[in-house]
Amino acid sequence: MAKKHRDFPADFLWGASTSAYQVEGASLEDGKGPSVQDIKVIPEGTPDFKVASDQYHHYKEDIKLMAEMGFKTYRFSISWSRLIPEGTGAVNPKGIEYYNNLIDECLKYNIQPLVTMYHFDLPAAIQAKGGWGNRDTIDAFVNFAKVMFENFGDRAKLWLTINEQNMLTLAGPIIGTFDPTGVENVIKELYQQNHYMMVAQAKAMALCHEMVPGGKIGPAPNISCVYPASCNPADITAAETFSAIRNWFYFDMATAGIYNHQVWSYLEAHDALPEIAPGDMEILASGHPDFLAFNYYSTATVAAFPEDEEYDPNAPVDQQKNGGEPGYFKPVPNKNLLKTEWGWEIDPIGFRNTLNQVYSRYRLPIIITENGLGAHDKLEEDGTIRDDYRIEYLQRHIEQMQLAIDDGVQMMGYCPWSAVDLISTHEGFDKRYGFIYVNRGNFDLKDLRRIPKKSFYWYKKVIATNGKDLENNL
Ligand code: BG6
């Protein structure tokens, strides 16, 4: 018998996401200081972040288009070095003004701002002092949080702490936030940084509750369920271990302030236990999220690590690219799944599985802060962008989110990546994600015109029907 679907909640937050350094441009304009993204070595063949999608100068137009799609929320991040150019000290009035305008523009259309405090763009001045490897960065982050809550907390009520903290730890060199050159014990250094971020996050969550009336805050890691390559119990151990390292560690810490026991044992074995100052564990236990946010693109599949295999101990653990960890797990391809043009496995059913796993463990409302398909979009001669492949990807994920709601998962919102085209973390403008096309190439800035893609009109219908009509019949 066909089961009747439960409705999406009436106040479900449909929207989409961006991040400051990937969308804003104006990278050194109006007093903004450089971030690590502005000083990193840019991958060959891809553009720098000076102009990006130029949302800094196009925000009114962008938000108007988001309103036309019917967005209930817009997830954007605040550039730390636009607000506080040196990371600490003087606040940039032009930075305050820009985010005030952005927030007010959202509210004009009843779009709730969902603000990421930090999305891969540490101020370069903080990096010069050791970045997240320096304990003082905790205080700098808390001060940054205070400035944001003071200035924007009267209107911005939904906050996210750190985007993909787990990827900063597992894949920092790829994102351009960690340089392993000359570091003796890479795992130790990365997990020390991670510890400081955890403490900073807990303090920011507590501060949000203190300073923002009615404010809600949560972490935003990248979460995906981990499959064992077979039903061999050794593969299952590998999957459970990798899931602890990749996923649960971050939510266990955010929700309960505890170090996941499998991660602790893994760090011990690598001589990589973090230094924990007196009082840290109390701080970690004092921050409580109101919801859990996570980014979901694909799942991971792992096998037990073959005993006779060579291994590079300095390779960071990265679900997509690394060779695994001897004694723990080895990533393997999942033959059941198709891949994107960039080799990312597509797993809509895994989305439902992941939602259920997260909800069973933590019982907090969930908002998806990223999910989407990076593709080479083409602007046709008739001025259209027919991104049916993106519609299909999103459609299949929303269908599974519906099934997760039927399962009883408490869903709060869905914000695919990305609201408008922007610069990919390391593939430039070749890899687009947006509902709104931005007319520029990697090096030819053209006119930066905004053009709704076919997915724009499809998503508008999805939102208008609160997720009931997912058909691609436009
Ligand atoms: C997430 C990040 O990891 O994935 C985004 O939070 C990023 O910043 C997105 O853009 C897609 O990754 P990529 O490498 O295709 O840009």
CA of 425 to the centre of ligand 1 (A): 5
Atom 7, ligand 1: residue with shortest CA distance: 425
Pocket test for ligand 1, best of 114, 122, 370 (most atoms within 8 A of CB): 370
Using the structure block, give the residue that is written with the tokens 């979009």: 377
Instruction: Please measure the distance between the N-terminal and C-terminal CA atoms of the chain and give it in whole angstroms.
Output: 30
**Which residues make beta-bridge pairs with 302?**
228, 331
* pLDDT value for 43: 87
User: pTM of the entire structure?
Assistant: 0.96
Residue closest via CA to ligand 1's atom 5 equals 425
Who contacts 365 (Cβ-Cβ below 8 Å, separation ≥6)? 290, 291, 292, 410, 411, 412
Which contiguous run of DSSP H or E holds residue 250?
helix 249-256
Atom of ligand 1 nearest to the CA of 374: 15
Strands 13-17 and 73-77: parallel
Q: Where are the alpha helices (DSSP H) in 297-419?
A: 348-362, 388-407
Helix (H) or strand (E) holding 463: helix 454-464
User: Alpha carbon of 474 to those of 205, 263, 387, 388, 453: distances in Å?
Assistant: 43, 48, 12, 10, 12
By the 10 Å C-beta count (0-12 exposed, 13-18 middle, 19+ buried), 336 is classed as exposed
Domain ranges within the chain, ordered by starting residue? 13-224+291-297+342-464
Q: Quick check: helix, strand or coil at residue 29? A: coil
Cα separation of 18 and 423, whole Å? 10
Q: Phi-psi region for residue 276, left (φ > 0), alpha (ψ -120 to 50) or beta?
A: beta
C-alpha 434 chain-centroid distance: 15
Atom of ligand 1 nearest to the CA of 163: 6
H or E segment to which residue 411 belongs: strand 411-414
Q: What is the pLDDT of residue 310?
A: 67
Q: What are phi and psi of 51, to 5 degrees?
A: -110, -35
- CA 41 from centroid of its chain's CA atoms: 22
The DSSP secondary-structure symbol of 317 reads P
HSE-CB for 3 with a 13 A CA cutoff: 8
pLDDT in tens, 148-174: 999 999 999 999 999 999 999 988 877
Pocket of ligand 1 from Cβ distances under 6 Å:
19, 22, 163-164, 167, 222, 295, 370, 374, 417, 424-427, 431
Token pair 């060199």 in the structure block, residue:
173
Non-local CB neighbours of 428 within 8 Å, separated by 6+ positions? 43, 45, 46, 47, 442
Q: How far is the CA of 335 from the centre of ligand 1 (A)?
A: 24
Distance (Å, rounded) from C-alpha 7 to C-alpha 401? Answer: 11
Handedness of CA 152, 437, 341, 21 (dihedral sign): negative
Per-residue pLDDT of 227-261, as tens digits, reads: 999 999 999 999 999 999 999 999 999 999 999 99
**Residue closest by Cα to atom 16 of ligand 1:** 424
Which residue carries 């999910």 as its tokens?
371
Residue bearing the CA closest to ligand 1, atom 15: 424
Whether the Cβ atoms of residue 193 and residue 132 lie closer than 8 Å to each other: yes
Q: Please, which residues have CB within 8 angstroms of residue 128's CB and are 6 or more apart in sequence?
A: none
Query: Which residues contact residue 18 at a Cβ distance below 8 angstroms, ignoring those fewer than 6 apart?
Result: 55, 74, 75, 76, 77, 417, 418, 419, 420, 422
Could you please state the CATH topology (level 3) that the domain comprising 13-224+291-297+342-464 is classified under.
TIM Barrel (3.20.20)
- Position of tokens 């709060």? 412
What's the gap in Å between 309 CA and the centre of ligand 1? Answer: 31
Nearest-Å Rg of the Cα atoms of the chain is 21
Q: For residue 346, what are the β-bridge partners?
A: 338
Question: Digits of tens for pLDDT over the chain (474 positions)?
Answer: 567 899 999 999 999 999 999 999 999 999 999 999 999 989 899 999 999 999 999 999 999 999 999 999 999 999 999 999 999 999 999 999 999 999 999 999 999 999 999 999 999 999 999 999 999 999 999 999 999 999 999 999 999 999 999 999 988 877 777 888 889 998 999 999 999 999 999 999 999 999 999 999 999 999 999 999 999 999 999 999 999 999 999 999 999 999 999 999 999 999 999 999 999 999 999 999 999 999 999 999 999 988 777 665 555 444 444 568 888 999 999 999 999 999 899 999 999 999 999 999 999 999 999 999 999 999 999 999 999 999 999 999 999 999 999 999 999 999 999 999 999 998 999 999 999 999 999 999 999 999 999 999 999 999 999 999 999 998
Residue 320 is predicted with a pLDDT of 40
Mutate to test the pocket of ligand 1, among 425, 427, 442 (most ligand atoms within 8 A of CB): 425
CA distances from 15 to 71, 189, 247, 344, 418 (A): 5, 36, 24, 23, 9
Taking the C-alpha atoms of residue 42 and residue 423, their distance in angstroms, rounded to an integer, is 12
Tell me the three-class secondary structure of 116-155, residue by residue. Answer: EEECCCCEHHHHHCCHHHCCHHHHHHHHHHHHHHHHHCCC
Determine the distance separating the centroid of ligand 1 and the alpha carbon of 297, expressed in angstroms. 9
Polymer length in residues for the chain: 474
Give the number of the atom of ligand 1 that is nearest the alpha carbon of residue 342.
Answer: 15
Q: What tokens were used for 427?
A: 């593939």
Ligand 1 geometric centre to CA of 424 (Å): 6
Ligand 1, atom 8, lies closest to the CA of: 425
Q: Which atom of ligand 1 is nearest to the CA of 175?
A: 14
Q: For 403, which DSSP code?
A: H
Residue 130: per-residue pLDDT: 94
Under 8 Å between Cβ of 56 and 97: no
- Report which ligand 1 atom has the smallest distance to the Cα of 167: 3
Q: Which residues are catalytic?
A: 164, 370
Q: If DSSP codes are grouped into helix, strand and coil, which group holds residue 240?
A: helix
**Residue 277 Cα, ligand 1 centroid: separation in angstroms?**
33
